[in-house]
Amino acid sequence: MNTFGQKLKSGRDAKGFSQAELARRISSHHSIIGKYERDEVKPTIDVVKKLADVLETTVGYLLGETEDRELLKDPSMMKRLNDIAKFPEQDKVCILYALDAMINNVKLKAI
């Protein structure tokens, strides 16, 4: 798995930003971006949020919760997940059970 610094550098390179440009966009200094990329310093969660916004990715991706840069960037999927999260526990269990069955069915068809 890539480190925070590696993901940050990759995201910065993908956007074509220099360290100075990325720093300017988050109101920071280029030297701190370099320290983040070398994993010498860990940013605060507020800084990670700013970086994710500027790099058009998610906090979860930068922090290593997922390897997918675009995961949960789809507003319609986020709305559905937020709706499910508000349901009573028994309803959530039923919905997730049905969803898991449908996902497995699609995966089996792909084989």
Walk along the chain (111 residues) and give the pLDDT tens digit of each residue: 689 999 999 999 999 999 999 999 999 999 999 999 999 999 999 999 999 999 988 888 898 876 665 655 667 777 888 888 899 999 999 999 999 999 999 989 887
Domain count, the chain: 2
Distance between CA atoms of residues 78 and 58, nearest Å: 12
Query: Are 10 and 58 within one domain?
Result: yes
**68, part of any domain:** no
Contacts of 38 (CB under 8 A, 6+ apart): 5
**67, part of any domain:** no
- 3-state SS track over 69-90: CCCCCCHHHHHHHHHHHHCCHH
Dihedral (Cα; 60, 7, 25, 54), 10-degree rounding? -40
Reduced to 3 states (helix: H, G, I; strand: E, B; else coil), residue 17 is coil
Domain hosting residue 14, numbered range: 4-62
Query: Are 13 and 57 within one domain?
Result: yes
Query: Are 16 and 56 within one domain?
Result: yes
